[in-house]
Amino acid sequence: MNQSFDGNSWEKLRDVITSCRKCPRLVEWRERVALEKRKSYREWEYWGKPVPGFGDPQGRVLIVGLAPAAHGANRTGRNFTGDSSGDFLYRALHKAGFANQPVSIRRGDGLELKDIYIAAVCRCAPPDNKPLPDELENCRPYLVREISMMQNLRGMVALGRIAFDSILRIFRHAGNEVPRFTFQHTGFYQPGPGLPWLVSSYHPSRQNTQTGRLTEAMFDEVWEFVRLKLKEEK
């Protein structure tokens, strides 16, 4: 990682992430969106910065999404908060016992996660929700650091193919011989000795949920599997 910081300090890592300006295209977009705002959020003070991870750093599961939504996490400053994807995710996590409430609309709204930490492969809201390969590469060290700092990590959940491929790339770049897995919803993978297991899911984007590609029952199945997997490992 280009910036130096205390590897044992989550607070310092969050400071490094939120001050990042490595990707000019993303910086320009996230800040422009924060200034122009959506009409329905005119009274909001948008976050407009890279979004750090959120949840239980002592947790055993790391959820990895794609990127902040322009008027979701780019507005609220918390992953999967303030948009339909977050509504879908936190409702499912609450049902599975990983969240104390089923909704999250802003930072400081009382949401607490248990045994779960949430991050993303891209920390800034990208135009059209499509980060470029070099932008993903610039963000990769942050996820690497979060993985290494989660001392109790047992498993990871990839929300979408890009997150899935990014996680496997991180393992391979670390020198691990990881098989060429095929992404599929509710897939379960063992990347290699000493590595956390991996579960894959369709991303809870509006494109997937409103078309029926991902239903609540399908998503609940993912978190019930994770819950039972953790129970086995106690």
Q: Give the tens place of pLDDT for each residue, 168-191.
A: 999 999 999 999 999 999 999 999
Average pLDDT over residues 124-149: 97
Nearest to 223 by CA among 171, 185, 175, 184: 185
| Ordered structural domains, the chain, with CATH | 10-233 (3.40.470.10)
pLDDT for position 8 = 59
pLDDT for position 185 = 98
Average pLDDT over residues 199-225: 97
Please provide residue 15's backbone torsions phi and psi, each rounded to the nearest 5 degrees.
Answer: -65, -40
pLDDT for position 233 = 86
- The end-to-end CA distance of the chain, in Å, is 34
Is the pLDDT at 4 greater than 90, yes or no?
Answer: no
Is the pLDDT at 2 greater than 70, yes or no?
Answer: no
pLDDT digits (tens, 9 = 90+) for 69-127: 999 999 999 999 999 999 999 999 999 999 999 999 999 999 999 999 999 999 999 99
Average pLDDT over residues 39-43: 96
Average pLDDT over residues 49-62: 97
Is the pLDDT at 141 greater than 70, yes or no?
Answer: yes
pLDDT for position 29 = 98
Q: Are 34 and 47 in contact (CB under 8 A)?
A: yes
pLDDT for position 1 = 32
Average pLDDT over residues 179-207: 97
Which two three-digit tokens encode residue 37?
Answer: 């705002």
pTM score, whole prediction: 0.95
In the chain, the percentage of residues whose pLDDT exceeds 90 is 95
pLDDT mean across residues, the chain: 95
Average pLDDT over residues 196-201: 98
Is the pLDDT at 193 greater than 90, yes or no?
Answer: yes
